[in-house]
Structure formats: C-alpha cells, structure tokens
Amino acid sequence: MLIDLPKLFGLHGKVAIVTGAAQGIGESIARTLAGAGALVVVADINAALAARVASNIGEEGGDAEGIAVDMADEDSVIALVTQAHALRERLDILVNCAGVQDRNFLEDTTVAFWDHLHDVNLRGPFIATREAVKHMRADATDGRIVNIASNSAFHATAPSLFAYSTSKAGVVGLTRATAIEVARDNIRVNAICPGNTTTPGQFTSTGPMFSDETIASFMPPLGRPGRPTDIAAAVLFAASDASAFMTGQTLVIDGGQLTC
C-alpha cells in the first residue's frame, strides 16, 4: 500500500500557535502549517502585521487568527495561549519562533540587554510551553511543541552574538528537558536549529556590524543562505505525524555549515 502523504503530513482540525509569525521564518511557518490544514494563530508583538498575515492566509484559503503577544511579558504569553485554546477548545501545536538577535560585545553588554534578550528568546518559550502543556494534558492531546533554536547553540558564530548564542543553547536545553517530562503524555518536543537564513530581522537587529570576513564565514557548503521556507518545511515534519517517534531532538538546517 502506498503511503498516504497528505495524511502523514496533514494537520486538518488542529490548532497551532506560531510566535514571531508576522514576518520572516515565523510567517513562513504559519503559512506552511495553514497550508497543511491547521488553524494557525499568528502571534507577534506587531499586532498590525500579525493581523495582516492572518488575513492574507485567509484570502489564500487557509485559516488563521492574528493575536498580539509580547514574549517578554508573562501575562501576555499566558493570554495568548488561553485565547488560542479558546478558538476551538483545543491546542495541538506550539511553535516558539519569536526571537531577537541584537548584538553586543561582552564588555559592552548590560544586564538589561542580557535580560531582555533572554526574556524573549528563552523565558518566553518556557512560559508558552508551560501554558500549552497545561491545556494539552487536560485535553489528553497528542501535542507537538517545536522550538526554533539556532546552529549558533553549538558553535560560536560571531563574538557579538554571544548573548544570542547562549539563549539559543538554552532553548536546546529547554527542548530536551521538557521532552522527557511530557513524553508520558504523548506530547513531543523538538527543536529546529537554522543556520544563516535571510530574513527581515537580519537587517533590523542592533549592535556592531559584522566584518566582511565574518559574513563570508556564514556561507555554508551548499553555497547559499537558508530561506524561511527551508525552516518551515522542517517544522512541518516536526509538527506532523511524519515525526511520530521523535522527541527531544534537534534538527540542524544550515546547509552543512556545522560540518565546516
């Protein structure tokens, strides 16, 4: 019998939250999950952009709702998960994609800079995961949590990214630790680790500019930067039944950069 690929990768009837979904990788993930049949909550700190992406998905035949969220604010994250669950009294998928990549060298890094970056990149995903698991357990849902980390969790990409790299290493740790705790509930938790991927956020991040030598080092063996769709395809795998026997894992999608 041939494999039923639409069923294997299909998400019809499921509700998914994607944070940081107003642009870049998050938007691509939201569109991909909607294309697979999920009702996608497009969550972002930019409420207007989130609403626009959700509207565009609807116009293209998908199902989406835009909800504003500040991942650095606990009450805002709790409200997001509560509102998403209330849409259809279920929550099946959480994709923690929102993040900031602002740069600073060690000696110039203030505690406020460090705390904000970790509040968004690590503390926010922890809170969202905690709240999502509450609903998934209560509803006996076979939940899927996908955290967007980075290949910089495993190697030093650039000196000014040390705070960012540290936060993403924390996301990998959060993924593995959470996976063990919720496995008995049939909730799977995995991480996707992108390499250099072209997104609008690359051009709005603050901090020291990269040298030409550093920029050249970002180019992987496959000879091109990643595209948001490259990452979204991996998230679909992790969020669907195609990865039914995988949890606590990290998939590095970086064009072979870590092999260098």
Taking residues 151-166, report their average pLDDT: 88
Give the pLDDT of residue 32: 98
- Answer yes or no: is pLDDT of 200 > 80: no
- Contact (CB, 8 A) for 192 and 201: no
Confidence of residue 214 (pLDDT cuts 50, 70, 90): low
Closest CA to 28 of 5, 130, 163, 20: 20
Q: Report d(CA 109, CA 113) in Å as an integer.
A: 6
Predicted local distance difference test score (pLDDT) of residue 215: 63
Q: What is the mean pLDDT of the chain?
A: 93
pLDDT tens readout for residues 39-57:
999 999 999 999 999 999 9
For the chain, percent of residues with pLDDT exceeding 90: 82
Residue 125 tokens read as 């995903």
- pLDDT higher than 60, residue 207: no
Residues labelled catalytic: 164
Q: Go through 73-94 and write b for each residue having 16 or more CB atoms within 10 A of its CB, e for each that does not.
A: bbebbbbbbebbbeeeebbbbb
- Domains with residue ranges and CATH for the chain: 12-253 (3.40.50.720)
Residue 31 in this model has a pLDDT that exceeds 60: yes
Q: Which pTM does this prediction carry? A: 0.94
Beta bridge partners of 66: 42
pLDDT of amino acid 208: 64
Name the more confident of 192 and 162.
192
Tell me the average pLDDT across 189-206.
Answer: 82
pLDDT digits (tens, 9 = 90+) for 75-116: 999 999 999 999 999 999 999 999 998 888 888 999 999 999
